[in-house]
Amino acid sequence: MTETETIAYDVVVLGAGPVGENVADRTRAAGLTTAVVENELVGGECSYWACMPSKALLRPVIAQADARRLPGLRQAVQGPLDAPAVLAHRNYYTSDWQDDGQVRWLEGIGADLYRGRGRLAGPRTVTVGDKILTARHAVAVCTGSRAVLPDLPGLAEVKPWTSREATSAQSVPGRLVVVGGGVVATEMATAWQALGAQVTVLVRGKGLLNRMEPFAGEMVAEALTEAGADVRTGTSVESVSRSDGTVVVVTDTGERIEADEILFATGRAPRTDDIGLDTVGLEPGSWLTVDDSLRVTDSEWLYAVGDVNHRALLTHQGKYQARIAGAAIAARASGVADLESDAWSAHAATADHHAVPQVVFTDPEAAAVGLSLAEAEQAGHRVRAVDVDLSSVAGAGLYADGYKGRARMVVDLEDEILRGVTLVGPGVGELIHSATVAVAGQVPVARLWHAVPSYPTISEVWLRLLEAFRDH
Ligand SMILES: Cc1cc2nc3c(=O)[nH]c(=O)nc-3n(C[C@H](O)[C@H](O)[C@H](O)COP(=O)(O)OP(=O)(O)OC[C@H]3O[C@@H](n4cnc5c(N)ncnc54)[C@H](O)[C@@H]3O)c2cc1C
């Protein structure tokens, strides 16, 4: 029989994805002893099956599309992508699914790594293997989320792709059905279609990217179709089976589609079903509700940071929360009882409520921050939206021949600050941070006139948006 060993820390972090790593970084920087528990790879979903591999697949796709829009360059890039080279480049970016580099980083900040499944075992206590880790100040649950598969009979035998297989596949399927219309579905449809698969996208709702302004999904659907994908909206999967290697999908509209693989990009669930939540009075399998310091409701010591709290399922937002949670844990550990909670606080993740940015790396890119027009209206703000055709901007014309793109700014008419901005078009992903600064900083429109964009960049869209607002 192995003996259990109890080891005391200031902070125990459950899960070493980007969020757990950043909580540990901050608590270590504050001088707190910190244990990190990880049962797969240090670096989490983001490094190995999400952000990094998906963007490594998409970058050549987008670069090729951009190059094909430039006279003088177009002819030089007419051939297909070198798919094996793109997949190898993706493998390089995931370090071939080895986490040695990130383990070294964790050791470098002075955190102790425990390999294995961590579970809460009552207040301030986590078990991992034969170890019991106790936390003087905080346990931070950073266990992330996993893909959800629909409840279709026989689905397991079909061996469907989730985001994991879609980002790590080592060969290009001949035909790929993508079920879903959100970010993962549209990005993976874009990547695999360009890498040589014949992609069919099945979307239950009216269109793609339905959390963004409607024109974003419309433009991405149009471009996917132009690229050769078959995008079918208002269609859901009735049944799916596999025989002799071929996947057969029957839709609720009675159509039968054959494919080599099927990807379900149909949502995420919290990885909280087997982490001992019941031992601290919480519901296993639930998203964890937190306050702005990322502390679980009614708890003195339990924090839930990143995907697991369902505030914004994005790495950058989770890392932001991690910086805040780390600062809050350190402040409370040093005896500060009441943390300030205003918009400028270092201890409150206020941007989660009104200034979350997101870039969808499709072609065209779709980027947004803050609220869409519909969301702002639903929230009761008195707003006006102004739209600009991006092709009217000199920098856009230079960026791509026949540039197609659109921008929307949602202005609050009470105080004339921006509630949200959406940009769709080639290259706009790098532009969205200017909008994030304006939205998070609550910069009045009158002051934005003095933020002068360089000529001739696509950023001059800001002038067109301000003019459209003034002249409306
Ligand atoms: C295909 C895809 C593409 C994406 N692209 C982007 C993008 O471009 N940009 C962006 O911002 N976001 C992107 N996201 C979202 C992003 O991946 C997540 O928001 C991010 O990974 C969340 O980080 P996290 O640390 O909260 O969780 P995770 O990255 O999921 O990490 C959680 C870690 O906890 C570990 N763990 C879980 N349970 C236990 C346990 N009981 N004991 C020990 N360890 C445990 C897991 O093994 C994992 O390593 C994408 C998501 C997908 C699916």
User: Considering the domain boundaries, does residue 245 fall inside one?
Assistant: yes
CA distance 128 to 150: 31
Bond into 444 cis (ω within 30): no
- The number of residues making up the chain comes to 472
Indicate the number of domains in the chain.
3
Confidence band for 106, pLDDT divided at 50, 70 and 90:
very high
User: Considering the domain boundaries, does residue 82 fall inside one?
Assistant: no
- 455/338: higher pLDDT: 455
Report whether residue 429 contacts ligand 1, using a CB cutoff of 6 Å.
no
pLDDT over 90 (residue 341): no
User: Considering the domain boundaries, does residue 356 fall inside one?
Assistant: no
Can you give the pLDDT at residue 2? Answer: 67
Across 76-105, average pLDDT: 98
Q: Which of 187, 315, 356 maximizes ligand 1 atoms within 8 Å of its Cβ, making it the mutation to test the pocket? A: 315
Taking the CA of residue 55 as reference, the ligand 1 atom at the shortest distance is 8
pLDDT in tens, 209-267: 999 999 999 999 999 999 999 999 999 999 999 999 999 999 998 999 999 999 999 99
Report whether residue 247 contacts ligand 1, using a CB cutoff of 6 Å.
no
Which of 351, 372, 407 is the C-terminal boundary of a domain?
A: 351
* Kind and range of the H or E run holding 261: strand 261-264
Confidence band for 3, pLDDT divided at 50, 70 and 90:
confident
195 and 277 belong to one structural domain: no
Confidence band for 343, pLDDT divided at 50, 70 and 90:
confident
User: Considering the domain boundaries, does residue 48 fall inside one?
Assistant: no
pLDDT in tens, 395-430: 999 999 999 999 999 999 999 999 999 999 999 999
442 and 405 belong to one structural domain: yes
Which DSSP letter does residue 444 get? B
Percentage of the chain beyond pLDDT 90 is 96
pLDDT in tens, 56-83: 999 999 999 999 999 999 999 999 999 9
> By C-alpha distance, which of 257, 262, 81, 106 is closest to 169?
262
255 and 318 belong to one structural domain: no
As a whole number, the mean pLDDT across the chain is 97
Which of 266, 300, 316 is the C-terminal boundary of a domain?
A: 266
Which of 221, 245, 266 is the C-terminal boundary of a domain?
A: 266
Rounded to 10 degrees, what is the CA torsion of 25, 26, 29, 31? -110
Report whether residue 270 contacts ligand 1, using a CB cutoff of 6 Å.
no
Taking the CA of residue 274 as reference, the ligand 1 atom at the shortest distance is 41
- Calculate how far, in angstroms, residue 140's C-alpha sits from the geometric centre of ligand 1: 15
User: Considering the domain boundaries, does residue 74 fall inside one?
Assistant: no
Across 446-460, average pLDDT: 98
Report whether residue 180 contacts ligand 1, using a CB cutoff of 6 Å.
no
Can you give the pLDDT at residue 340? Answer: 83
Is 284 in contact with 272 (CB distance < 8 Å)?
yes
126 and 193 belong to one structural domain: no
299 and 242 belong to one structural domain: no
256 and 281 belong to one structural domain: no
CATH assignment at residue 295: 3.50.50.60
Can you give the pLDDT at residue 1? Answer: 59
Can you give the pLDDT at residue 338? Answer: 87
Nearest CA to ligand 1 atom 53: 50
292 and 407 belong to one structural domain: no
Nearest CA to ligand 1 atom 6: 51
282 and 256 belong to one structural domain: no
312 and 392 belong to one structural domain: no
User: Considering the domain boundaries, does residue 92 fall inside one?
Assistant: no
The domain in which residue 201 lies consists of 155-266
324 and 377 belong to one structural domain: no
* Kind and range of the H or E run holding 54: helix 51-67
Can you give the pLDDT at residue 344? Answer: 83
pLDDT in tens, 158-214: 999 999 999 999 999 999 999 999 999 999 999 999 999 999 999 999 999 999 999
β-bridge pairing 261-264 and 175-179:
parallel
- Give the contacts of 127 (CB within 8 A, at least 6 positions apart): 118, 119, 121, 133, 276
- Calculate how far, in angstroms, residue 175's C-alpha sits from the geometric centre of ligand 1: 28
Can you give the pLDDT at residue 466? Answer: 98
Q: What is the pTM of this model?
A: 0.97
Comparing 11-25, 260-274, 332-346, the range with the smallest average pLDDT is 332-346
- Give the contacts of 63 (CB within 8 A, at least 6 positions apart): none
User: Considering the domain boundaries, does residue 294 fall inside one?
Assistant: yes
Across 358-366, average pLDDT: 98
Is 50 in contact with 41 (CB distance < 8 Å)?
no
- Calculate how far, in angstroms, residue 446's C-alpha sits from the geometric centre of ligand 1: 40
CATH assignment at residue 402: 3.30.390.30
135 and 180 belong to one structural domain: no
pLDDT over 90 (residue 44): yes
203 and 305 belong to one structural domain: no
User: Considering the domain boundaries, does residue 71 fall inside one?
Assistant: no
